[in-house]
Amino acid sequence: MRYLLTIAYDGTNYRGWQKQIDELTIQQTIEEVLSQVLNTEIIIHGSGRTDAGVHAYAQHAHFDVKKQVDVDKLKYSLNSLLPNDIVITNIKQVADDFHARFSAKKKLYEYVIINGERSPFMRDHALFIKTPLDVKVLKENIIKFRGIHNFKNFTTKPDDENDYVREIYFTDVYKQGDVIRLQFIGEGFMRSQIRLMVGALLAIALNKLPADYIDLNLNTEAQRKTISEKAPARGLYLLGVDY
């Protein structure tokens, strides 16, 4: 039997999603509790990896178990035992050939910026920038990422790999009060891709990079003309996955 978990988590205290030796991760924490509740070793397969400090409203992961389970009871048991910064929001049975990663059609990410005074309550959940940001400049540049592009210069994926082409279906910028949200919907994203794209957008808006930086660094195998900084992980959220 194959089941799909929908998971919300605050990534502040974890070294990312993927299991690592001697590190606290989201995957490891859930696997340990699942194995305890089901009394058998369980391995979960996520829709993708989130970096240390990145959050999720709706990460997805599947697992296999030999027996049928009561999903309502399982959800209750898991949430009773998991730490309070990880919550299972839904569990459902899926087809045996379903895969949380390879069956995904779209992923939605959001980056949150507070363009104003720091708040102690949001210190681990947004990027604070006091200098006023020009939303028009952000909108003019974020749209350049839409479509099918070679994103080699916007990922930390190893150079010995050669598949850097991805499609981004939608991008936009929203502002409400001091809060600015940058949204990206795509078929999938490479390591640090969104954080590097956000870093470039912010550097352009703050006049730290030239206005044509994105144009020069998309669809080229050449080394970055100027390296943009990765935006901090704390502002990034996985909002959902479409199947």
Strands (E), the chain: 2-9, 45-46, 55-64, 86-94, 106-114, 127-128, 147-150, 165-176, 179-186, 236-242
pTM of the model: 0.94
215 classed as catalytic? no
Q: What is the dihedral of CA 8, 10, 15, 20, to 10 degrees?
A: -30
2-94 and 106-242 agree in CATH topology: yes
Comparing CA positions, the residue from 12, 49, 85 lying closest to residue 194 is 49
At residue 165, the pLDDT reads: 92
User: pLDDT digits over 152-176, tens only?
Assistant: 889 987 665 678 899 999 999 999 9
User: pLDDT digits over 9-44, tens only?
Assistant: 999 999 999 999 989 999 999 999 999 999 999 999
At residue 220, the pLDDT reads: 74
Cα separation, 29 vs 47, in Å, equals: 16
2-94 adopts what CATH topology? Alpha-Beta Plaits (3.30.70)
What is the domain partition of the chain in residue ranges?
Answer: 2-94, 106-242
Cα separation, 45 vs 81, in Å, equals: 20
- Taking the CB of residue 80, how many other CB atoms lie within 10 A of it? 9
User: pLDDT digits over 171-215, tens only?
Assistant: 999 999 999 999 999 999 999 999 999 999 999 999 999 999 999
Average pLDDT, whole number, for the chain? Answer: 94
Is 225 a residue whose pLDDT tops 60? no
Is 76 a residue whose pLDDT tops 90? yes
106-242 adopts what CATH topology? Alpha-Beta Plaits (3.30.70)
Place of tokens 């959050």: 55
Q: Among 22, 51, 124, 163, which one carries the catalytic annotation?
A: 51
